[in-house]
Amino acid sequence: DAGVIQSPRHEVTEMGQEVTLRCKPISGHDYLFWYRQTMMRGLELLIYFNNNVPIDDSGMPEDRFSAKMPNASFSTLKIQPSEPRDSAVYFCASTERRHREAFFGQGTRLTVV
């Protein structure tokens, strides 16, 4: 398997624009996670899914953020409208089942100007 695949790797957008980040987990993995990493706050969990169902979205900062997992092989994280404070690296990760090691994608570096 190619691992967890994220796209795009880099995104630069203007404040107010909609941004969509994409993730393809490892085939057969039941859990998918979205994390955000900033210098100030480090890594934080935004939301995670189990078998395509959102389980914990308590880390989603506000209503501007939404995440979907329409099937086992694809998830999106959308920010609308984007703000400069959303600038960060967003990681997607997947695990095979409960309490297993996580496999991370390469991340999407988002810059909102």
Contacts with another protein by CB under 8 A lie at 31, 33, 42-45, 48, 50, 55-56, 89, 91, 93, 95, 98-104, 106-107, 109
- Which one, 15 or 43, has the nearer CB to another protein? 43
CA distance 102 to 3: 11
- Which one, 9 or 15, has the nearer CB to another protein? 9
CA distance 110 to 6: 12
In whole angstroms, the minimum distance from the beta carbon of 107 to another protein comes to 6
CA distance 105 to 102: 10
Phi-psi region of 70 (alpha: psi -120 to 50; beta: other; left: phi over 0): alpha
In whole angstroms, the minimum distance from the beta carbon of 59 to another protein comes to 8
